């Protein structure tokens, strides 16, 4: 009986051994046939203020785009309106832009959409230049003066226009001067090239540190400040934006971009300003480290909790835009066509 058992099981053992050997041989091949996602290149235009685009810069630096199989090529533009020009001209695929610019473009019949909200409030302020502190005390006092904005048609100019109209002035009552963002805007204010300015991002705390007595005419960096200016604390200020045809043709790429950027937003919310600044490049940092840290903390406070466009946000944006755009006042625009939450809700 023992001999018979050995004779009966021998072929089975040999077959099992051959099956195991074959399976082991196939395993590496199976592994090799399941590569990661194909690398997709995304051309992305950003304004030069680092804090405004911090979640995007962090996603790049921390390797989150690479993890999603994306090669993100960043290009600098002088202002958000210039970035939109690049998007409409086809030289980039995605732009970091204000929903205000998106609605402005939509009123001209161009199909562009915000598809990820980065910040829930505008990180901006209307300030008085040191040379004019004795003469400008209110927004009404700006009449006849030079006021700096980042670039013509930018959100900073649109915010200025709204503030002027709300204070009983017309947009023609001041002379606007393009002063850029970041260090360039600070230099323009300090050197008296303008009497007041709409500053954004890191330029605000940098000016505050250099000029503690600096006078604010409007400050939208807090919910209270935004409500005082706009009548609402729901004012999404920065989004990833793309043309509707691009989003439809590259839905999976858009999802990867959203996933990676949201991951960076969560990282940004969970780490200290010092840790965040350590991940910024030298070119993105300001010379004054404390001003950088204050700007980063401010950006953390207005970071969108989920990336979703708030329901009442687009209408608030349209109302502000209407102060300087006749079409925003008179034309019918379905605001739901200017944004999508699809890639946030279904990542």
Q: Which pair of tokens denotes residue 312? A: 């009442």
- Percent of the chain residues topping a pLDDT of 70: 88
28 has a pLDDT exceeding 80: no
Specify the DSSP class assigned to residue 148. E
The model's confidence at residue 38, banded by pLDDT at 50, 70 and 90, is: low
Rounded to 5°, the CA angle 238-48-310 comes to 0
Question: Is 192 in a helix, a strand, or coil?
Answer: coil
Please tell me the predicted confidence (pLDDT) of residue 239. Answer: 95
Other CB atoms within 10 Å distance of the CB of residue 70: 22
On the question of pLDDT at 18 being above 90, the answer is no
The pLDDT tens digits for 311-345 are 899 999 999 999 888 999 999 999 999 999 999 99
Name the token pair of 343: 């890639």
The predicted pLDDT at position 83 comes to: 86
Long-range contacts of 2-9 (CB under 8 A, 24+ apart): none
Q: What is the rounded CA–CA span in Å between residue 58 and residue 319?
A: 32
Q: How, if at all, do strands 216-219 and 124-128 pair?
A: antiparallel
**How crowded is the C-beta side of 135, counted as CA atoms within 13 Å?**
11
What is the Cα–Cα distance from 336 to 318, expressed in whole angstroms? 12
* pTM reported for the whole predicted model: 0.81
- Please name the residue that has the structure tokens 């939208």: 220
pLDDT of residue 148: 98
CB 2 within 8 A of CB 31: no
- Average pLDDT on 90-110 reads 93
User: Which residue from 217, 241, 239, 243 is spatially nearest to 228, judged by alpha carbons?
Assistant: 217
Domains of the chain in sequence order:
40-121+235-345 (3.40.190.10), 124-219 (3.40.190.10)
Where are any strands of DSSP class E within 248-308? none
Give alpha helix (H) positions in 111-202: 155-166, 182-190
% of residues, the chain, pLDDT over 90: 73
Beta strands in 184-274 (DSSP E): 196-200, 216-219, 238-243
User: Does position 115 have pLDDT exceeding 70, yes or no?
Assistant: yes
Nearest Cα residue to 123 out of 275, 303, 243: 303
Q: Residue 234 has what pLDDT?
A: 84
Are 116 and 105 in contact by the 8 Å Cβ rule? The answer is no
The two structure tokens encoding residue 212: 């503690």
């Amino acid at each position: 009986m023992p001999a018979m058992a050995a004779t009966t099981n021998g072929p089975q053992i040999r077959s099992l051994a051959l099956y195991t050997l074959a399976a082991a041989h196939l395993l590496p091949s199976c592994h090799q046939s399941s590569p990661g996602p194909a690398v997709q290149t995304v051309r992305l235009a950003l304004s030069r203020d680092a804090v405004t685009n911090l979640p995007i810069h962090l996603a790049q630096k921390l390797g989150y785009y690479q993890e999603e199989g994306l090669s993100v090529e960043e290009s600098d533009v002088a202002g958000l309106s210039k970035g939109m020009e690049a998007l409409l001209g086809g030289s980039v695929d995605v732009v970091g832009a204000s929903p205000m610019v998106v609605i402005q473009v939509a009123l001209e019949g161009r199909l562009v959409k915000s598809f990820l909200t980065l910040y829930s409030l505008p990180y901006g302020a209307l300030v008085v230049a040191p040379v004019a502190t004795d003469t400008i005390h209110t927004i009404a006092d700006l009449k006849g003066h030079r006021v700096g904005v980042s670039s013509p048609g930018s959100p900073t100019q649109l915010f200025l226009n709204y503030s002027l109209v709300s204070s009983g002035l017309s947009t023609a009552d001041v002379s606007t001067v393009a002063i850029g963002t970041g260090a360039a805007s600070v230099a323009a204010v300090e050197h008296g090239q303008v009497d007041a300015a709409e500053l954004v991002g890191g330029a605000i705390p940098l000016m505050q540190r250099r000029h503690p007595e600096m006078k604010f005419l409007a400050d939208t960096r807090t919910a209270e400040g935004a409500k005082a200016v706009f009548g609402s604390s729901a004012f999404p200020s920065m989004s990833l934006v793309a043309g509707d045809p691009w989003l439809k043709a590259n839905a999976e790429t858009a999802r990867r971009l959203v996933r990676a950027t949201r991951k960076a937003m969560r990282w940004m919310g969970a780490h200290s300003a010092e840790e965040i600044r350590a991940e910024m490049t030298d070119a993105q940092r300001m010379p004054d480290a404390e001003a950088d840290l204050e700007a980063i903390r401010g950006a953390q406070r207005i970071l969108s909790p989920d990336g979703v466009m708030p329901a009442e946000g687009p209408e608030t944006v349209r109302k502000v835009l209407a102060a300087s755009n006749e079409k925003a006042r008179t034309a019918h625009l379905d605001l739901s066509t200017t944004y999508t939450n699809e890639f946030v809700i279904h990542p």
